[in-house]
Amino acid sequence: MFGQVVVGPPGSGKSTYCAAVVEFLRGLGRNVCVVNLDPANERCAYEPDLDIRDLVQLDAVASEHALGPNGALIYCMEVLEKNVDWLIDHLVELSRTHDACRYFLLDLPGQAELFTHHHALKHVLDELVYQPKLRMRLCTVNLVDVHYCLDSSRFVSVLLHSWCTMLHLEQPHVNLVTKMDLADQFEGMNIRTEAFSADSEYVLDTDHLVEQLDQGHKAGRFASLNAALLEAVDDYAQVWFYTLNLSDRDCMLHAQMKIDQAMGYVFREQDALRAAAQAQARAQTNE
């Protein structure tokens, strides 16, 4: 089995992404199931095949334990960790009842600490990977809203957050800059869209970022820190970004192929996916 672990801050478009990818892949003939693991997601943009709210209710947790939104969400993830067999059994059942579905989208909450240092989510994902019933091959799909590219300081925070997520979850990892169709609406965008290469990959220019950061009003205090952080990111060369425009089929296809490659999805499926997309595009053109 294979799965995309869809993470990212609130408002980055996780549920919208899941809905679009399910429609896109099913339209190309791939059998996909989508799982909502966000107990705060009351209005899904899709019809989940499995919903964590059948296991634990966020409002009930907050009321019973007098917790705020963040505390209640962490509590729910810890409940999922303790009841991971519930998730495993339902995924196995889905694979048997939904036409042998072996490709899943896991829609996660947007709370940053769940991906960067809290133990619950990592333990759940490890169980999915190492549980003999599943042996899932996972890929973390980290969604970043394009507005975080408005200035260099925000983009550096995105770099570090993406890196921390990658190191903590220890899964194959793909970063996608979402809502690229809105990029032209932003003025003063220091991380320009021209920085993305022809295949939609962001070309990291640390010298440019340091130069932009040094122009800030707090540049003197943090100049050495900024330079050291960006040097570390550049030296390890582990953080890359690809663009995503959900209304652009070629962009969608490119992103899904990158994710498939990262998780080791059967390579012959790559050719089938590309051929199906091309055939569908030709059919729409002929209409």
If one compares 91 and 222, the residue with the highest pLDDT of the two is 91
Q: What is the pLDDT of residue 69?
A: 87
Band of the pLDDT at 197, cuts 50, 70, 90?
very low
Query: Rounded to 10 degrees, what is the CA torsion of 183, 187, 188, 189?
Result: 0
Q: Which residues contact 233 (CB under 8 A, 6 or more apart)?
A: 159, 160, 163, 204, 206, 239
**What's the whole-number mean pLDDT along residues 57-82?**
92
Least confident range of 62-71, 86-95, 219-228 = 219-228
Q: What is the pLDDT of residue 186?
A: 57
Taking only the tens place, the pLDDT of each residue in 211-226 is 666 666 555 677 777 7
Per DSSP bridges, beta strands 33-36 and 103-107 are: parallel
Mean pLDDT, rounded, of the chain: 82
Q: Which residue has the tokens 């333990």?
A: 123
Q: What is the pLDDT of residue 49?
A: 94
CATH, domain range 2-204+239-270: 3.40.50.300
**What does pTM read for this prediction?**
0.85
In the chain, the percentage of residues whose pLDDT exceeds 70 is: 76
Taking only the tens place, the pLDDT of each residue in 120-169 is 999 999 999 999 988 899 999 999 888 777 667 777 788 888 889 999 99
Q: What is the pLDDT of residue 170?
A: 93
Taking only the tens place, the pLDDT of each residue in 232-270 is 777 766 778 888 888 888 888 889 989 999 998 865 555
